[in-house]
Amino acid sequence: MSSGGRGCDPVSIRLEAEDFKLWYTKFRDVISDLSLVRRVSSIVYNLLNQGCSEEDVIKAVEEILRGVNVDPLAIRRGEFQGLRSDVVEVLKVIFPNATQETKPPFFLGEGSGGRAVKQAPSTTGRVRRARRVIRFRGLELASWIMVAASTVTAIASLITGGRLILGIGLSLALLFLIIALITHIRML
């Protein structure tokens, strides 16, 4: 495989192929069309940057996909936004049935004609978040109260010499401290 300029290094292609096969084998059961196209786009980008022609990259990637029994025609969704134009051209040849699919950022909504427009958060969304925060605050507060009660029990048993109660009190204090911290982290 050669191209004008520096040429396409067969070692680079082999390394990309081996890396892709390992990735695909490891995550085969959870790979979506979007993640597959995203992974292939990085291979395309790397090979183009190393001097491979678009034709060489297409051949190499199709061979890599055949090696793991992926049918490029079966891929229906891909994210092409933000990629270099030459990478997008190669991806559209490799995955001819893939259409652009991306979700707008959380602060943008879908307007008419598929354009993203800025929107203020809906009232129902704010109410749902408020309910969720109140629920977490209640669980967090209860956990902190239990930490305090367990700590007091542990201190009292330390003073009176009750080792069993001391161990139970400290264990419960640690357990409720962990629960309180976890619920606090979820609130952030």
The torsion angle over the Cα atoms of residues 46, 49, 53 and 58, rounded to 10 degrees, is: 20
Answer whether 104's CB lies under 8 Å from 110's CB.
Answer: yes
Average pLDDT, the chain: 77
Q: Residue 183: is its pLDDT beyond 80?
A: no
CA distance 125 to 148: 35
pLDDT grade for 163, boundaries at 50, 70 and 90: confident
Model confidence at 135: pLDDT above 90: no
Which pLDDT band holds residue 28 (cuts at 50, 70, 90)? confident
> Which residue type, as a one-letter code, is found at position 8?
C
Contact 95, 85 (CB under 8 A): no
For residues 182 and 68, the model is more confident at: 68
C-alpha–C-alpha distance, residues 112 and 108, integer Å: 13
Instruction: Compute the C-alpha angle 45/49/54, nearest 5°.
Output: 70
| Residues 106, 119: Cα–Cα separation, whole Å | 10
Average pLDDT of the segment spanning 140-149: 76
Please name which of 143, 173, 142, 141 lies closest in space to residue 156, comparing C-alpha atoms. Answer: 173
How much of the chain is helix, strand and coil, in % rounded to 5? Answer: 70, 5, 25
Q: Within 13 A of 34's CA, how many CA atoms are on the CB side? A: 6
Report the predicted TM-score, pTM, of the whole model to 2 decimal places: 0.52
Q: Is the pLDDT confidence value at 117 over 60?
A: no
36 vs 117, higher pLDDT: 36
Token duo for residue 38: 């995203």
Q: Judge whether residue 134 has pLDDT over 90.
A: no
The radius of gyration of the chain's CA atoms, rounded to the nearest angstrom, is: 28
Rounded to whole angstroms, the Cα distance separating 175 from 172 reads 5
